[in-house]
Amino acid sequence: MFKILGFLLICCSFLLLACSEADTLGDEPPTEIVIEGTPTWRNGIGKLVELKCASCHQVPAASYTPHGTPSTMDLRYFESVGMIRRGDSLEVWINAGILEQKLGGIRKMPLEYATPLTDREITYLKDWAISGSPE
């Protein structure tokens, strides 16, 4: 009987340990994508955009894609970079400043409650957009 209890106790402590480790993640900053050399879709930008933008911007919409997200742009794929409403491209929006401010009715990207971009990640995206969003 006591053996079983002892065993259960050990199991519980492992469970508690596992949980407390997970809890500490809340204090850590989100993983930053680091790009060596020129940022291109294949060299880092695709990965960055998939991680920080495609969580909402995917087709069909993800369960947490908010109402009103453009439904044609799937930012997991390079082909979608030029397929934004009204024929704009991601490059145009980034150059217009969507990563830094609200533009007309469109909010700053990513939305406030999503995983934020780091300053370096914003710089990569802007460098990429200003050089013509190369693949």
Residue 46 in contact with residue 102, Cβ under 8 Å? no
Which residues, other chains included, contact 5 with Cβ-Cβ below 8 Å and sequence gap of 6+? Answer: none
Three-state secondary-structure class, residue 40 = strand
How many residues form the binding site for ligand HEC (CB under 6 A)? 21
Instruction: Decide: is 98 part of the binding site for ligand HEC (CB under 6 A).
Output: yes
Of 33 and 109, CB closest to ligand HEC: 109
Instruction: Decide: is 82 part of the binding site for ligand HEC (CB under 6 A).
Output: no
Angle at 15 between CA 9 and CA 19, to 5 degrees: 145
Which residues, other chains included, contact 26 with Cβ-Cβ below 8 Å and sequence gap of 6+? Answer: none
Single out the residue of 66, 95, 97, 100 in contact with ligand HEC (rule: CB under 6 A): 66
DSSP 5-26: HHHHHHHHHHHHHHHHHHHHGG
Single out the residue of 109, 128, 129, 133 in contact with ligand HEC (rule: CB under 6 A): 109
Of 2 and 132, CB closest to ligand HEC: 132
Single out the residue of 35, 52, 59, 128 in contact with ligand HEC (rule: CB under 6 A): 52
Which positions lie near ligand HEC, rule CB under 6 A? 52-53, 55-57, 66, 68-70, 84-85, 90, 93, 98, 106-107, 109-111, 114, 117
